Structures are given as structure tokens and as C-alpha cells.
């Protein structure tokens, strides 16, 4: 999978801190001044899944390998970014290369960490970033239409329709509803291909102080009230950064002492995984228990190809059992003895949590 999520927001909201915690090491510079990040930092991050740990225990696997997600730390945007202010054009081009926006919003007070607008106002901050993305889209669409005005294609109609839509300040959901008689997935894919940012899926991360993460604060409540239909995840990035050098079990226990029931950044990553339409299937044996990333709707040969192209090209069948049945049977051998292992063909759509073993022929490659 080559899909990626990017951490986007104003300067000094905690994007680089979050990225460092996700990577479990200091990759991105985190400083108290705007634009300490210029070039995007990138990394492949494991998506923790307790199901894999459970499979590993049953089969006594020597190691566990989690599925991964590509993450990008993008420099902070400022007002006027769509006009090139604050290296805006460069940073917007970085956003065009990702598939999901994780919008980090400052929801904490601090006299030590400056705010680019002098005060903490998460709703204003979100509106500002979203407005800059729309302004950038308007410019891209106007230029594209001008360059291709002689075309008599569906693309020119899509471009004019979406330009009219965002100029009227209508939501993406409204655009999809207005065009439900058309292939909106195809339209969205095409708009993304020409660099339209407002069609990218997104959710919000409210970065709070460690003292307020348990019960929330007014900034978090204001953000949720302003965007009631959006996903807003509270985290205490600085706290998680301070604890990240600890062993994993100690790290989780310490967070629980602060009232954090679920590690914020694990939640952020699993949410990103779902927003991108990704799922996991598992392979398990004595050497390893491993999760593999696929797009929702992948058929068995496509899923097999994620492991190796030979599995796809020489696909015979998939031996499949759901995670729940595997756990209930307490292992592969008992499951097989009970007749719970199914043989599925090339049209089988792999489900999230399937435990798979692929049968295939090794095809001779032409000399």
C-alpha cells in the first residue's frame, strides 16, 4: 500500500511532536518558532493490533509484525498560504502528495509556546486552514479550466461544477449529494489527481495539556461543538513524547495513571487506517504472526499479491478462517480438525481479520 496520511496545521500546534512520538524517536525538529519544519518528514509506522498478539500467543510465533502506515509531517500553514505566504505554495504541494489530512489543532494554553495569531482559538484555526485549502483549490480549478476551456469532456464539466460549488461555500458532502446520480468516486479521484485539496478525507486531533487530557477543556469542547459531525481525537502529545523512551508496558501504565485509557496516538493511527479504507488480514505460524495491509474490497489474489507477486500470479486458492473462529478453536490445527478452514477462490473478498494461507503455483518466467 502506498497510501499516506499527513499531519497538517498551523505552526506550533504539536505536529512534529506527534510525529516524533509515532516514530518512537526524534525525527522532526520541534521548536518554539514557526517553520522549524521546512521539508516534510516521512516514516512508516506500525498499526498496533491486539489481535495479532493474541494469534501469536496461540501459535507461539517467534515475532509479531504489525501492518504499517506511511505518515508525513508537513510544515505549518499560515494565513495567506494559498497566495504563497510563509512558503505556502511549497507546503501546499506537500499536502497534494498525501491521501488523508490529519489536522492537528492546538487546544492548550502556554506562555512558553507562542501562537502565530497571539491567542488560542481552535475553531478559528481550523477555519483558517480549511479556507486556505479552498482558496488554493479555486486557483487550481480556474487555471485548469482556462487551459482546457476548449475541451468537451466530462472533466471540464466536473471542474466547472466543483468550482461553482466551493465558491458558494458548500460542503463536500453536499457536492456528493448533488451529484449522486453520477460516479462521485470517479469525480473525487479525478479532482485529487489535478491537486484539489478539499476532497481529501480528514479528521481532527486536539492537542491538549497533560493536566487536562483526562477531563477535557473548553477548547476541546468548542472544537467538538463547531464540528459535531467530524471525528475529533484528544491527545496529550507532550506527555506521550516525555514517556516514549519507556518500555511499551510501562509507557501504557504511566498514561493510565494520567487518566488516558487509550493511547492517543494509537487511536490516531487506527483512525487514519480506517479513513483510508484500509483493512488487515493475518498470516500466522511458528516464525511470525503478521498483519498485511489491503484496501477494503480486495479479492483473494490481490491480497495474496501484497505478500508476493508470485502468490497472486500463481494463485490457486486461499485457506481462510476468521480471527474470531481461530481464537475460538485455539489454533490452526484444531480449526482444521473441526472443519472451520474454508477454501476460497479468486472471487472471494477478503475481510478484515481473516487469517489466510495461500496456495499457489510458481509460474515459470520467460527467459
Specify the pTM. Answer: 0.84
Dump pLDDT digits (tens) for 317-356: 999 999 999 999 999 999 999 999 999 999 999 999 999 9
Determine the Cα–Cα distance for residues 297 and 302; give it in Å rounded to an integer.
10
- Listed in sequence order, the DSSP H helices in 316-355 are 323-329, 332-337
What was the pLDDT predicted at 16?
Answer: 85
297-360: CATH topology is Ubiquitin-like (UB roll) (3.10.20)
Q: What is the mean pLDDT of residues 256-270?
A: 75
Question: Domain residue spans in the chain?
Answer: 4-275, 297-360
Determine the Cα–Cα distance for residues 206 and 268; give it in Å rounded to an integer.
11
Please answer whether residues 204 and 105 qualify as being in contact, where contact means their C-beta atoms are separated by less than 8 angstroms.
yes
- The residue among 85 and 229 whose pLDDT is bigger is 229
List phi, psi (to 5°) of 358.
-95, 135
Dump pLDDT digits (tens) for 102-141: 999 999 998 888 888 889 999 999 999 999 899 999 999 9
Q: Is 12 assigned a ligand-binding role in the annotation? A: yes
Report the residue count for the chain: 367
Dump pLDDT digits (tens) for 203-252: 999 999 988 887 789 999 999 999 999 999 999 888 888 887 777 777 77
Cβ-based neighbour number of residue 363 at 10 Å: 9
The DSSP call for residue 131 is H
Determine the Cα–Cα distance for residues 172 and 115; give it in Å rounded to an integer.
30
- What CA dihedral angle connects 329, 335, 338 and 340, to 10 degrees? 110
Q: Is 154 assigned a ligand-binding role in the annotation? A: no
| Class of the CATH-defined domain 4-275 | alpha beta
Bridging pattern class, strands 355-360 and 63-65: unpaired
Residue 81's alpha-carbon distances to 5, 132, 136, 216, 225, in angstroms, are 20, 6, 8, 31, 27
Q: Is 14 assigned a ligand-binding role in the annotation? A: yes
Residue that the C-alpha cell 496461540 belongs to: 58
Q: Is 13 assigned a ligand-binding role in the annotation? A: yes
User: CA-based angle 223:224:228, to the nearest 5?
Assistant: 125
Determine the Cα–Cα distance for residues 171 and 127; give it in Å rounded to an integer.
13
Directed axis angle between helix 218-226 and helix 122-147, to 10°? 40
- The residue among 55 and 41 whose pLDDT is bigger is 55
Amino acid at each position: 500500500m502506498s497510501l499516506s496520511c499527513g499531519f497538517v496545521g498551523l505552526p506550533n500546534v504539536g505536529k512534529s511532536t506527534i510525529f516524533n512520538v509515532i516514530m518512537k524517536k526524534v525525527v522532526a525538529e520541534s521548536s518554539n518558532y514557526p517553520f522549524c519544519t521546512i521539508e516534510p518528514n516521512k516514516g512508516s509506522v506500525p498499526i498496533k493490533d491486539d489481535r495479532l498478539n493474541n494469534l501469536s500467543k496461540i501459535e507461539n510465533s517467534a515475532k509479531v509484525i504489525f501492518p504499517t502506515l506511511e505518515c508525513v509531517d508537513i510544515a505549518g500553514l499560515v494565513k495567506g498560504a494559498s497566495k504563497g505566504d510563509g512558503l505556502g505554495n511549497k507546503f501546499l504541494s506537500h499536502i497534494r502528495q498525501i491521501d488523508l489530512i490529519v489536522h492537528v489543532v492546538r487546544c492548550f494554553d502556554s506562555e512558553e509556546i507562542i501562537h502565530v495569531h497571539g491567542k488560542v482559538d481552535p475553531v478559528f484555526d481550523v477555519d483558517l486552514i480549511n479556507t486556505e485549502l479552498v482558496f488554493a483549490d479555486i486557483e487550481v480549478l480556474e487555471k485548469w479550466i482556462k487551459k482546457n476551456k476548449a475541451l468537451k469532456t466530462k472533466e471540464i464539466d466536473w471542474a466547472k461544477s466543483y468550482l461553482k460549488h466551493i465558491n458558494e461555500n458548500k460542503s463536500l458532502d453536499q457536492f456528493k449529494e448533488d451529484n449522486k446520480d453520477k460516479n462521485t468516486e470517479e469525480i473525487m479521484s479525478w479532482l485529487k489527481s489535478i491537486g484539489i485539496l478539499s476532497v481529501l478525507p480528514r479528521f481532527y486531533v486536539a492537542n491538549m495539556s497533560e493536566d487536562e487530557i483526562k477531563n477535557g477543556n473548553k477548547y476541546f469542547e468548542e472544537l467538538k461543538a463547531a464540528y459535531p459531525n467530524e471525528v475529533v481525537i484528544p491527545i496529550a502529545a507532550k506527555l506521550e513524547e516525555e514517556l516514549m523512551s519507556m518500555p511499551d508496558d510501562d509507557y501504557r501504565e504511566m498514561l493510565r495513571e494520567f487518566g488516558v485509557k487509550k493511547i492517543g496516538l494509537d487511536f490516531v493511527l487506527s483512525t487514519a487506517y480506517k479513513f483510508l479504507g484500509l483493512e488487515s488480514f493475518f498470516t500466522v505460524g511458528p516464525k511470525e504472526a503478521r498483519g498485511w495491509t489491503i484496501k477494503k474490497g480486495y479479492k483473494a489474489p490481490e491480497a495474496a499479491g501484497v505478500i508476493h507477486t508470485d502468490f497472486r500470479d500463481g494463485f490457486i486458492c486461499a485457506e481462510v478462517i476468521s480471527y474470531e473462529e481461530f481464537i475460538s478453536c485455539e489454533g490452526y490445527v484444531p480449526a482444521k480438525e473441526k472443519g472451520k478452514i474454508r477454501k476460497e477462490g479468486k472471487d472471494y473478498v477478503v475481510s478484515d481479520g481473516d487469517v489466510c494461507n495461500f496456495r499457489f503455483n510458481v509460474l515459470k518466467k520467460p527467459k
